[in-house]
Amino acid sequence: MNNSFVIKNLESSVGGKEILKGVSLEIMPSEIHAVMGPNGAGKTTLVMSLMGNPNYKFRIQNSEFRINGEDMFNKTSEERAKNGLFVAFQHPIEIQGVSVLAFLRTSYKALYPQEKIPLSDFKKQVVEALKMVNLDEGFMQRSINEGFSGGEKKRMEIAQLLVLKPKFAILDEIDSGLDIDSLRIVAKAIGGAVKKYKTGILLITHYQRILYYLKPHYVHVLIDGKIKKSDGLSLVRKIEKGGYAAV
Amino acid sequence: MKNINITVKKNEEKVVPYIWINGSESEINFDAELIGEGANLTIIGIFIGKNSDSVIFNTNVIHKAPKTKSMTHIRGVFYDKSIFNNDGMVHIAKGAKGADGYFASKILLFDDAKGRSVPSLEIDENDLKAGHASTVGRPDENQLFYLRSRGLSEKQAEKLIVSGFFEPTLSMLSENKQIEIRQNLLKNL
């Protein structure tokens, strides 16, 4: 199917241990899907294997992973990115001596080789994105994530999302380590990307709070490597009351 | 073989860079003496080895006077089958009270390159500060994955990581020297 992010019956194991036992999801542009689940449910494995981390491998028989109809299984991480996939990581990586601006410029050129944006215009876009997540423009010249606080790293991931305009974005526990004000800012910025770029969102989280700001169209509960239930926001309240056992 | 002799006198401050990019010398020996009180020396070594390059780089820094200070900073990136061998000696002689000697090296290896960096301290004085830090390693998998997840090819990711790797050391040099070396690096990564 075109214009969609589709996974069907995904299975993945790490170090010989089966973690994902058949996960299926379909995300359309501008849709927000939340995946909730207890520790050890397979959330990180899902994220890492979707982005093509070499340490997490899918078993690809009887499974499907497509973006806009194109098969992603045999593609490298950078090819997946070029097909419009983005991950806001739970633990963003620090890279010494490489400025945020130089990194984003290289990345943008790789993703959109046909566009020729002058550096001065590109800088403006970066500054605007930083402003959206309440980071001052000085962050542009700093080394990637080096010396950033936990919250600053998370906000920088979202700033990157705003600059790189992916078709589909996986946000891995973007809310952990954020105070209430930052949470509101980040949720608003994500909502902005959904509206402006029609980015489809897969939001992975432990906590309910961000869901009240972002209002996902669908909530899925991942337990023991499988999606146990999918529903609307009402499912969040159910979990809030009775825990994952209530699902 | 190339021998470089450096003498640093009383209250004198020297920064001596040695850049080996597409170099031809196969063995370089630095001999430095801090002979006057308050002498201050920074040695900076920057290396990029490729193909079957083989480089021996030895530094020997002797503190002979009180309150002398030395820093040796080496950063090297080696590709293909290139080889790097480095011994770094810091010697605090008797009478060099309050001397401060430091040696730091970071070597990044790609492909089948080999690298060795061994600091040693020789101390004949009680009142001093001295230290060393050396790492020889491969590019960080998590960094590569992070950059590739943003659309950079493996080669582009490596290039960016390597350019950043030299930055902290470059920043110790004068502005002009920094620009010159950065241009040289860009051509050779």
CB contact under 8 A, A93 and B146: yes
> Which residues of chain B are under the pLDDT cut of 50?
none
Smallest Cβ distance to B164: which of A76, A93, A98? A98
pLDDT at A142: 97
In Å, what is the CA distance from A95 to each residue of A127, A146, B127, B167?
20, 7, 38, 11
Q: Express each pLDDT in A159-208 by its tens digit.
A: 999 999 999 999 999 998 899 999 999 999 999 999 999 999 999 998 88
Q: How far away is chain B from the Cα of A98, in angstroms, using its nearest Cα?
A: 5
pLDDT at B189: 82
Q: Express each pLDDT in A22-43 by its tens digit.
A: 999 999 999 999 999 988 889 9
Mean pLDDT, residues A110-132: 97
Quick check: A120 pLDDT over 70? Answer: yes
pLDDT at A53: 94
Q: Searching chain A, which residue's CA lies closest to the CA of residue B140?
A: A95
Note whether A1 contacts B: Cβ–Cβ < 8 A. Answer: no
**Percent of chain A that is helix, strand, coil (3-state, to 5):** 40, 30, 35
Candidates B58, B66, B67; CA nearest to B90 is B58
Note whether A107 contacts B: Cβ–Cβ < 8 A. Answer: yes
- Cα(A246)–Cα(A244) distance, rounded to whole angstroms? 5
CB contact under 8 A, A95 and B164: yes
Note whether A51 contacts B: Cβ–Cβ < 8 A. Answer: yes
CB contact under 8 A, A95 and B141: no
A92: its two tokens: 């963003």
Domains of chain B, residue spans: 2-137
Name all domains of chain A by residue range, CATH numbers in brackets. Answer: 5-246 (3.40.50.300)
CB contact under 8 A, B152 and A106: yes
- Cα(B106)–Cα(B77) distance, rounded to whole angstroms? 9
Note whether A97 contacts B: Cβ–Cβ < 8 A. Answer: yes
Q: In what order do the strands lie in the sheet with B2-8?
A: B2-8, B27-34, B54-63, B83-92, B114-123
pLDDT at A1: 52
- Cα(A179)–Cα(A184) distance, rounded to whole angstroms? 9
pLDDT at A61: 82
Please list every residue in chain A whose beta carbon sits closer than 8 Å to the beta carbon of residue B154.
76, 78
DSSP code string of A42-55: SHHHHHHHHTT-TT
CB contact under 8 A, A93 and B143: yes
Smallest Cβ distance to B164: which of A82, A97, A107? A97
Q: How far away is chain B from the Cα of A113, in angstroms, using its nearest Cα?
A: 11
Please list every residue in chain A whose beta carbon sits closer than 8 Å to the beta carbon of residue B169.
none
Smallest Cβ distance to B151: which of A78, A97, A98? A78
The B-side interface with A (CB below 8 A) comprises 140-143, 145-154, 156, 160-161, 163-168
Complex confidence, ipTM: 0.96
Q: How many CB atoms lie within 10 A of CB B107?
A: 23
Give the amino acid at A2: N
- Cα(A105)–Cα(A126) distance, rounded to whole angstroms? 9
Positive or negative torsion for Cα A67, A73, A75, A77 = positive
- Cα(B132)–Cα(B104) distance, rounded to whole angstroms? 5
Q: Searching chain B, which residue's CA lies closest to the CA of residue A166?
A: B150
Q: Quick check: A12 and A49 in contact, CB under 8 A?
A: yes
- Cα(A59)–Cα(A13) distance, rounded to whole angstroms? 8
> How many contacts (CB atoms, under 8 Å) link A and B?
80
| Burial of A1 from C-beta contacts in 10 A (0-12 / 13-18 / 19+) | exposed
CB contact under 8 A, B152 and A107: yes
- Cα(B155)–Cα(B161) distance, rounded to whole angstroms? 10
Please list every residue in chain A whose beta carbon sits closer than 8 Å to the beta carbon of residue B147.
95, 103, 107
Please list every residue in chain B whose beta carbon sits closer than 8 Å to the beta carbon of residue A77.
145, 148-149
Q: Searching chain A, which residue's CA lies closest to the CA of residue B145?
A: A53
User: How big is the CA angle at A82 (ends B138 and B187), to the nearest 5 degrees?
Assistant: 50
User: How big is the CA angle at B23 (ends B17 and B28), to the nearest 5 degrees?
Assistant: 60
pTM score of the predicted model: 0.93
Mean pLDDT, residues A134-161: 97
pLDDT at B42: 97
Quick check: A60 pLDDT over 90? Answer: no
Note whether A141 contacts B: Cβ–Cβ < 8 A. Answer: no
Positive or negative torsion for Cα A71, A72, A76, A77 = positive
Note whether A81 contacts B: Cβ–Cβ < 8 A. Answer: yes
